[in-house]
Amino acid sequence: MSEAGFHGVFPYLVSPVHESGEVNAEVLARLCDDLIKAGLGAAQQMVDRTLAGRG
């Protein structure tokens, strides 16, 4: 890994899902908004990857 690699805090991000197994995007966005407000900007990147099926 390069010197410019990951750094900082990486919180465990809960992945809320409906009974069908589909990601509950509304709840996930709300969870990430809370993390971003707390100063953890990487949360939005996690949501984007999860919703794109790469998370």
Quote the pLDDT of residue 36: 77
Q: Give domain limits for the chain.
A: 22-55
Element (H, E) at 54: none
For the whole model, what pTM was predicted? 0.55
Contacts of 36 (CB under 8 A, 6+ apart): 43, 44
Tens of pLDDT, residues 1-46: 456 676 666 777 788 999 999 999 999 888 888 877 877 766 566 6
